[in-house]
Amino acid sequence: MKKLIILLFALFVLFVPATIFASSCESAGEELPEYYILFSIDGQEYIYKFGISDIEVNTFAVLFGGEETNFFATDDNTASTEIEPDNYILIFFLGYEPLDYTYGEDPLDIEFYTADGSYDIIAGTLTITKYGDVGDVIEGTFTATVQDFSNGAETINLEGGKFRILRLADDTPVPWGGGDG
């Protein structure tokens, strides 16, 4: 009987920490929405998870003309084709497959908009790790230094960027950044 109690105690000691560790790993993965663009500015993390409500409510990507891919994401769920959000990010690049892009060497543009200014890329990289078909996702990472040309020369570093974006039908018109909108 004493051996059985020791065995049960040993199993309990091994099982409980393993269960706690496994559940904490699962919850870390659940913190991000299904589709998003995530980045940090000065250590503050931002998650843009919305699109344009009357086109697609989630952050999205569109391939235009069979060659230019555009991403759109905002932190505001009220954006529509009639209402431009205060804060949003646009990412443009030529291509439709997993690749690495470097600003200045490759066709890459990252634009970042806030209520206080509009910023355009002056340095940065983009890595596409997955470029899914329509209805699937585009995934990858990015970093960028963007400069505000509207209110002076303030620069912002977008660091640790990563994304998982829904790919919409090719040539879907959008009001900012591409198509007929």
Q: 144: closest CA among 153, 154, 155? A: 155
Q: How far apart are CA 117 and CA 103, in angstroms?
A: 21
Q: Where are the domains of the chain?
A: 1-31, 33-167
Instruction: State the amino acid at position 54 in one-letter form.
Output: D
Q: Which pTM does this prediction carry? A: 0.79
Q: 164: closest CA among 125, 126, 134, 131? A: 131
Band of the pLDDT at 180, cuts 50, 70, 90? very low
Instruction: State the amino acid at position 116 in one-letter form.
Output: D
Band of the pLDDT at 15, cuts 50, 70, 90? very low
CA angle 87, 84, 102 (to 5 degrees): 50
pLDDT digits (tens, 9 = 90+) for 89-135: 999 999 999 999 999 999 999 999 998 889 999 999 999 999 999 99
Window from 28-42, 52-66, 79-93 with minimum mean pLDDT: 28-42
